[in-house]
Amino acid sequence: MRILAIDTATTTGSVALTDGEQVVGEYLLNIRATHSERLIPALLRLLEDGEWSGDDIEGIAVATGPGSFTGLRIGVATAKALAYAWQKPLVGITVLEGLAFQVGFAAQWVCSMVDARHGEVYGRLYRTEGLPEAAGDYWAGPVEEFLQQVLETAAGPVCFCGDGAAAYWDAVQEAAGKRAVKPVGNSMQLRASSIALLGRERFLAGERDDPLTLAPMYLRLSEAERKLKTRCSAGCS
């Protein structure tokens, strides 16, 4: 099965083409330019270099989040519109699962973390035996609290990956000590090929998402909604 995958969740953005379990091509950029400016040019270049046209694509996979709200929407809107116009099946894969997939060979317990800024992360703990399996709930909040939870649940060494792990490595080391496993740098960043290969698993299992309604996974309310909630719980009505 030939799959096109897109990730625009963090400042790292990538697109990939996979055929079966093989990566045909992958283009990753970790620069300041916005995804809006670089996504379609990257996609076009990859299709051209891979000598693929729209007809060659059998499925589209997109990283749904968590990550930068705006970045996620650029990727998800693009993937949905491509799937709609090309009439191809679409599947959304979380960034956290994609990250765990990348280090599946390295450790049984993998903790994926995306930087949510100000000492907070989005995260989830997985057990990996080839493919990642969730071993806890999604997390959005202070990194220390999350680490404590993860270390209580997991037994033995835990591999910490994602830009959240990179940003708060000191906290990880302090909490996990010798149990902390740090992957090599390029496994810390999500690659679209991981989204494609996980998407393939999903497609083969007969699953797919609706290209009209697929939405990003934010794991967090907007600032305005949070403030309103705090105000209300403090006693408005």
Partner 1 sequence: MRLDLVEKWGLEMKVRQGASAVEGPSALVLGIETSCDETAAAVVRDGKEILSNVIASQVDLHRIYGGVVPEIASRKHIELIMPVIDLALKEAGASPGDLDAIAVTYGPGLVGALLVGLSAAKAMALALGCPLVGVNHIEGHIYANFLEYPEVDPPLVCLTVSGGHTDLLYIDEYGRYDILGRTRDDAAGEAFDKIARVLGMDYPGGPEIARAAEAGDPTAIDFPRGLLQADTFDFSFSGLKTAAINYIHNLRQRGEEVPVADIAASLQEAIVDVLIAKTLAAAQAYGVKTIFLSGGVAANERLRSRLRELAAADGIRVYYPSKVLCTDNAAMIACAGYYRYLRGERASWELNAVPNLRLGEG
- Interface residue list for partner 1 (CB under 8 A): 34, 36-41, 43-44, 54, 69-70, 73-82, 84-86, 211-213, 215-216, 218, 222-225, 228
Q: Which is nearer to partner 1, 5 or 125 (by Cβ)?
A: 5
For residue 157 the two structure tokens come to: 């060494």
User: Please, what is the minimum distance in Å from the beta carbon of residue 230 to partner 1?
Assistant: 14
User: Please, what is the minimum distance in Å from the beta carbon of residue 231 to partner 1?
Assistant: 11
- Phi (first) and psi of residue 225, to 5 degrees: -70, -35
Q: What share of the chain is helix, strand, coil (3-state, %, to 5)?
A: 40, 30, 30
User: Please, what is the minimum distance in Å from the beta carbon of residue 128 to partner 1?
Assistant: 31
Q: Which is nearer to partner 1, 37 or 51 (by Cβ)?
A: 37
Tell the residue number behind the tokens 């000598």, with chain if given: 51
Q: Which is nearer to partner 1, 186 or 213 (by Cβ)?
A: 213
User: Please, what is the minimum distance in Å from the beta carbon of residue 33 to partner 1?
Assistant: 9
Whether 71 and 36 have beta carbons less than 8 Å apart is answered as no
Q: Which is nearer to partner 1, 52 or 169 (by Cβ)?
A: 52
Q: Which is nearer to partner 1, 205 or 212 (by Cβ)?
A: 212
Whether 110 and 157 have beta carbons less than 8 Å apart is answered as no
How far apart are alpha carbons 10 and 218 in whole angstroms?
Answer: 12
- Compute how many other C-beta atoms are within 10 angstroms of the C-beta atom of residue 66: 31
User: Please, what is the minimum distance in Å from the beta carbon of residue 21 to partner 1?
Assistant: 26
Spatial CA neighbour of 13 closest among 29, 1, 2: 29
